[in-house]
Chains A and B, each alone.
Chain A
Amino acid sequence: MTTSQGHLSRRRALQLGVVTGVGLAVATAEPAAAGPVRPTFAHGVASGDPLPDAVVLWTRVTPRPGDDPGSNRGPVVPVAWEVAADPQFRRIVRTGTVRTGPERDHTVKVDATGLAPGSEYWYRFRCQGVASPVGRARTAPAPGSDVARLRMAVVSCANLQAGWFTAYRHLAARQDLDLVLHLGDYLYEYAPGEYQARDVVVRPHDPPREMTTLADYRRRHAQYKQDPDLQALHAAAPWVVTWDDHESANDAWSGGAENHTDGAEGPWPARRSHAQQAYAEWMPVRYTAGGRLYRRFRFGRLASLSLLDLRTYRDEQVASPVDPALADADRTLTGPEQLQFLLDGLADPQVQWKLVGNPVMIAPVRFPGTLDTRTAAGIATLVDAQAPPVAGLPYNVDQWDGYPAERAKVLDHLRDRGIRDTVFLTGDIHSGWACDLPADGATYPVTGHSVGVELVCTSVTSDNLDDITGTPPRTTSLAVETAFKASNPHIKYLDFDSHGYSVLEVTPEGAQMDWYVLTDRTDPHAAAVHSTSYRVGAGTQRVERVARRPA
């Protein structure tokens, strides 16, 4: 944290508060120029995991200057919280006090219960007379209720070094979101210069090293949560999050990660436990370190949302798509218990839309045979492939494509049981996709028979194909996208270049994703422009391009 960043943070948060209607109390959190030391809420407020009667509330208090994240310094302090039915806090419905200290990095997490379903609330914290910014939360609808519409932001892959979080700012300004779904890579582990915007470090990471220790992970979380755009979006709506790999380390699996070096960086279980503890402390999620992150939410009879953890239980990735181990029916991405959890949720007859928060792509993607070597190398870099792609074979074995037997269990489950209206919502791959999920890849081109769909949001900032190939956006990648779609006819939309966010709206009639792209991720004032929209009509299991929904 630097002084200049802290100043910018407060000023920008105040500006955003005027726009969004939340965060208005930030001015009261300013320490006085002189006088007694007062606490600050420099990392904003957040809510998450909405249930019909509860929502998780989060903040981090800095009791005194110097009680920095990861420092393990500072007193234990009481923090009061309030939940109100109005933004002016005239009708306070729940209050409480908790204590926090250095053992949890002065983070505060409250599961505010006893709330009414489908209701809007405002919340804030107080410590030693200082009030936090105000956040807005919304509880989930009552179980079994008819819900006309569910609207959520869908985001992933926000690398602070690679750009500004203007995507979050534009989402915060909408003020029409029921929740924000973050599909992972909320932060990145890399040191400055290791992974940024092409060759430009837009904002260097803190600490200035790859995070491996608990203090590192805490400091990195803290740095991200000082971003005013991220704070604004956290304050605007409840988040539902899962992690992908970069919350711990690249291409993480149950026994390690691509860039984890046992010995020099300690044993993997210790590093992962640091990552999990910091995640539990710093994220508005109903999760404790070492516990179960995969979980399910319901939004009346309209939709369920199953969040998956595809890093903790998975077997190691195969080295390449020609590795014979790919055919091993016992290899797992989910682990057996999580797989059963997923299958049970998909088969729930009491809910119409089965949404799956799916950190890595499930649609099969075969590498086309028409691309030149340079482009193929760029795609290999995009997906962290350890070997060059092979035409006709899966192009990324870090996805479900690397665990085909387990994917078959999921897709067969959908087909065998006649399960309809399943939508996988996916991040990870820094590109936008809309895909059918073929019941049988061989006959799909003739029958068009699909058992579900997959909608993939692009990265908030992280590099994608044009960044890797060093070409202008929407130039060379267009031919690559055409080749991918030709080789994979179930892929209806693919944008390998753009950064931004998506908005998903679910109604009984259909589920529609709108993709918005940033004009320039390295411009802190970048605009967001509607790119395209795809919809799956109820009962169709097929995506189709449609016009953007009216604002």
Chain B
Amino acid sequence: MNPRTTTLDRRRFLQVTAAGGAAVVLSSTVGAPRARAAGRPDLRVYVLVVDGTSPGEVEPLLMPRLSDLREEGTWFAAARSLPVMETIPNHVMMMTGVRPDRSGVPANSVFDRREGVVRDLDRPSDLRFPTLIERLNDAGATTGTVLSKEYLFGIFGTRATHRWEPFPVVPGSGHAPDQFTVDAAVAMVDEFDPNLVFVNLGDIDRVGHSDLTGPALGVARTAALAGSDSQVGRFVDHLRSTGRWDRSVLIVLADHSMDWSIATNVVSVAQLLAPRAELRDSIQIAQNGGADLLYWTGRPNRRNAGLQEVRRLVAAHPGVLSVHAPDELRLGPEAGDLVCFTRAGWRFSDTTPVSNPIPGNHGHPVTEPIPFLVAGGHPAVRRGVVVGEPARTVDVAPTVGALFGLGAPRGGYDGTARTSAFRAMPRR
């Protein structure tokens, strides 16, 4: 490592040279401790999100390192993502422990009524609930975020004590390749050794979206699975080789899985409503792959009848699985007035049938199953256990919080601490 430090505003930037020779720039809150936090010298928790991975893909041929972790630790066989099965809301659920109706983050893309635009929820102010990251910081611990996607870096912002801004970012995908992400994670561990590091690895998801060979062949995806798996392995190897393994707890999970559709299996709500101009002109659509969020923007006195008719028209499409009021899914007002899901093998494409050309999508219920495992060398981790509990992404914060002895946030968690992964909770 070759650290070089500069200070800008209230952040301190540190450039280090990663093991591969590439430069990694980390930023830290001014005044934050540079090394391990006092009071909890014996525990480090690493939450690694293998974005978009299906649980069935964690098998020895495709992902040998994750398979090893599964065998060595506790595997939650019935784990699932939560609506909307998109990246931003599920990462937020992981780090808050609460559902979107409390966090304000129900989807990747929403219609912002105040600004009158459809946009990503990628601003720090979009997240209204205290995160585990901030609460750990307040308790005297240190935290780090290594998030490969620009919009994740955006919404989590400078909450962590130490952050990495994704770089280099692949044009069009908005994410940094896993190799660089793990370089940054390793650098962050070496340089700051935070108590909690939250890592998103985006390659599997990004390749899955664009893999035209789909589930039948999955050529590009198979390569991405192998690549991300080896990067996770590299991170694990680093923890082992630097003597950190015995105090480490790894939580490895996905935010959602992936579903593929052919070009003809496309649902365009805008097209469905096109013959009904009074409806089409009264609806804004936020497209989230296999989910569409619909917002009534027409005359208030027409709202109920109009939404009823929209629901009827959308639900009648053979590619639509279900239409919900956001409250049914605990999504909150940001999710609009109706939430529509496609069937497996279908996708939404709005506002035009060619707006969403990518074959790999998520957001709909078929993409709920996720891998979810707890591993690591910490003696508290149970070895070789398969658990059938209904673990969810929202369970990460209460689980990690319990490990650090952190109480529940105001109003309590919506998730559950998955203590069955541990022989006993580590001592504070």
Q: Which residues of A contact B (CB under 8 A)?
A: 146, 301-302, 349-350, 352-353, 412, 415-418, 420-421, 439, 443, 446-447, 449, 507-509, 538-541
Contacts and interface: CB of A to CB of B under 8 A. Distances in A.
Contact of B215 (A302, A447, A538): A447
B121 to A, nearest CB: 24
Contacts of B406: none
Interface stretch (B96-104, B198-206, B291-299, B385-393): B385-393
B77 A508 contact: yes
Contacts of B367: 418
B343 interface: yes
B216 interface: yes
A418 B78 contact: no
A449 B386 contact: no
B216 A443 contact: yes
B82 to A, nearest CB: 10
Contact of B78 (A415, A421, A439): A421
B369 A509 contact: no
B321 interface: yes
B368 interface: yes
Contact of A416 (B216, B321, B387): B321
B55 interface: yes
B77 A352 contact: yes
A417 B80 CA distance: 11
Contacts of B78: 352, 420-421, 538-539
Interface string B202-228: 000000000000011000000000000
Contacts of A416: 321, 343-344, 364-366
A416 B420 CA distance: 30
A352 B215 contact: no
A509 B386 contact: yes
Contact of B368 (A301, A417, A538): A417
Contact of B77 (A412, A443, A446, A509): A509
A415 B345 CA distance: 9
A301 B390 contact: yes
Given A446-B216, A447-B216, A418 B368 contact: yes
Contact of B390 (A349, A417, A541): A349
Given A301-B390, A302-B388, 14 more contacts: A146-B387, A301-B389, A352-B390, A353-B388, A416-B343, A416-B365, A416-B366, A417-B368, A420-B78, A507-B386, A508-B386, A508-B387, A539-B56, A539-B369
Contact of A146 (B80, B216, B389): B389
A352 B387 CA distance: 9
A538 B80 contact: no
Interface string B394-428: 00000000000000000000000000100000000
- Chain A interface, DSSP helix/strand/loop, else mixed: loop
Nearest to B257: A418
Nearest to A348: B390
A417 B366 contact: yes
A412 B343 contact: yes
A245 to B, nearest CB: 34
A146 B420 contact: yes
A411 to B, nearest CB: 11
Interface in B51-107: 55-56, 75, 77-78, 80
Contact of B369 (A302, A350, A418, A447): A418
Nearest to A510: B386
A443 to B, nearest CB: 6
A533 B215 CA distance: 29
Contact of A449 (B75, B215, B343, B420): B215
Contacts of A507: 386
A421 B365 CA distance: 16
Q: Which 4 A-B pairs have the closest CB atoms?
A: A352-B388, A538-B77, A508-B388, A509-B386
Contacts of B216: 443, 446-447
A130 B257 CA distance: 63
B77 A415 contact: no
A538 B386 contact: yes
Nearest to A421: B78
A412 to B, nearest CB: 7
A539 B55 contact: yes
Nearest to B215: A447
Contacts of A353: 388
8 contacts: A352-B389, A418-B368, A446-B216, A447-B215, A449-B215, A508-B388, A538-B78, A540-B56
A466 to B, nearest CB: 38
A301 B389 CA distance: 7
A81 B377 CA distance: 55
Contacts of A509: 77, 386
A352 to B, nearest CB: 3
Contacts of B366: 415-418
Interface in B108-134: none
A143 to B, nearest CB: 14
A148 to B, nearest CB: 10
Contacts of B365: 416-418
Nearest to A147: B388
A415 B56 contact: no
Contacts of A352: 77-78, 388-390
Contacts of A538: 75, 77-78, 386, 388
Contacts of B75: 538
Nearest to A439: B344
Q: Which of B257, B367, B390 is most buried by chain A, counting CB atoms within 10 A of its CB? A: B390
A416 B343 CA distance: 5
Interface in B310-362: 321, 343-344
A412 B56 CA distance: 19
Nearest to A300: B388
Contact of B80 (A302, A418, A449, A540): A418
Given A509-B77, A539-B77, A540-B56, A420 B389 contact: no
A303 B197 CA distance: 35
Contact of A420 (B321, B343, B369): B369
